[in-house]
Amino acid sequence: MSGLTELTLAEARDAVAARKVSSRELTEAFLKAMENARALNAFITETPDRALAMADASDRRVAAGNARPLEGLPLGIKDLYCTKGVRTTAGSRILHNYVPHYESTVSQNLWDAGAVMLGKLNLDEFAMGSSNETSYFGPCISPWRAKGSNAKLVPGGSSGGSACAVSAGLCLGATATDTGGSIRTPAAITGTTGIKPTYGRCSRWGIVAFASSLDQAGPISHTVRDCAIMLKVMASVDPKDSTSVDLPVPDYETGLEGGVKGLRIGIPKEYRVEGTSPEIDAVWDKGAAWLKAQGAEVIEVSLPHTRYALPTYYIIAPAECSSNLARYDGIRYGHRAAGADDLIELYEKSRAEGFGAEVRRRILIGTYVLSAGYYDAYYLRAQKVRALLARDFTEAFKSCDMVLAPATPGPAFAVGEKISDPVTMYLYDVFTVTVNLAGLPSLVVPAGLSEAGLPLGLQLIGKAFDEATLFRAGRALEVAADFKAKPRPWWRT
């Protein structure tokens, strides 16, 4: 079978199950693609020996008739997920040599279902960023380039390596995490599909924490079907994570072709914001028309507190980051500075050397808003506004089944173009942070190309734990968009 790295996850699953291709052949094809794509810097750690051993084990299970749901399918793992015996860095110097002795619940679910690990994927340091430029291991580069330009573009963040690897054909699918848009932004600007599930749908145990009340695991893959297949396996209740929810996980794939007839799709008027690319507004209007043409009713809804979402997020997330990252002290694990004269200096030097500029900035912001005299003025007030943002969605869902919105204010930008201006970078999250603050699920689907030939994505935001309806609508959007564009493989030359 030719073109193995061009298969969707569903196609590869069916081919392996039918013994048209072996897992070893599939895995070797992806390992070769990874070797030829080092210019993208998508992987921090490659695990070829482990991948081939897992593939051989899968082939034996297929031959014995004991295949599991993801048997023999090669995946990439965001390097925020702890993987037993495999270096886990969180994209940071402070964890550059950390090897966990345990496996995250989500990745264990994938291995239990038969998946094969190709390696650990690049990301913004501790998942703090929207462009994958804050990684200690260097920026991940998008496989896409604008027409007539050789400028290197960002793949989005923080799960840039995940989106890049899927888009470039380096894996069938990848795990990712989303704290303020870190699945949806990369998916939107690399022409891939990604879902941020409802908070609590997937266990956070064994995933390096950024902001514990916002973080959520999810997949990035080629299609809505592939995401549905992956999320079915990734999601579970977990006694090791008190925030995981004990609800049945539907077989999302079976309902994909149900269509959108009779669904009500809300268009939030507050998402028409200044600075959004006209191309984004155009594809948003087109997406609404596509759903309407398939039988959905499109109505305007209001999310009145949207304008407060970014400041609220950039108080709560840094506050939680400040608390979570206090554990990295140069003593128990991770980077330890040399030449310290006492314990306090060891802490200070280790953290100063171990954390990059963006992580240090967020720790400082978070420590400030949690400090005596400022807690009530900032953090407590932000939590109250967060409740209002969640209530906005509750009210909107009284008149609609889901919300259709842009995922990003524009297409991918050049590496180095915005990273020196943190406020500009934070504004790139304008359409995504509301979903995390409200704990809702959101699915991004590629919907078109900009004039420069770069992907543009749309997001569907659904009711809590109603990912099944999101997948159904996402599939309808996917069929209408008929997005077939692929990046030109410049990295192979």
Residues that are catalytic: 78, 158, 182
On the question of a cis peptide bond just before residue 277, with omega within 30 degrees of 0, the verdict is no
Name the amino acid, one letter, at 154: V
| φ, ψ dihedrals at 112, nearest 5° | -65, -25
Helix axes 9-17, 48-63, angle to 10 degrees: 50
- Sequence-ordered strand ranges (E) for 15-127: 43-46, 74-78, 116-121
- Beta-strand pair 264-268/193-196: unpaired
- How many whole angstroms separate alpha carbon 113 and alpha carbon 198? 22
Contact status, residue 359 vs residue 333, Cβ threshold 8 Å: no
Which single residue is written with the structure tokens 């978070």? Answer: 366
Nearest alpha carbon to residue 74 among 126, 123, 19, 32? 32
Q: Residue 402 in 3-state DSSP?
A: strand
CA 26 to chain centre: 24
The phi-psi region of residue 243 (left if phi > 0; otherwise alpha if psi is between -120 and 50; otherwise beta) is alpha
Beta-carbon contacts of 132 under 8 Å, excluding residues fewer than 6 positions away, are: 122, 123, 124, 139, 140, 154, 155, 156, 157, 158, 159, 160, 161, 164, 186
The residue among 407, 419, 382 whose CA lies nearest residue 214 is 382
Q: Which helix (H) or strand (E) holds 220?
A: strand 217-221
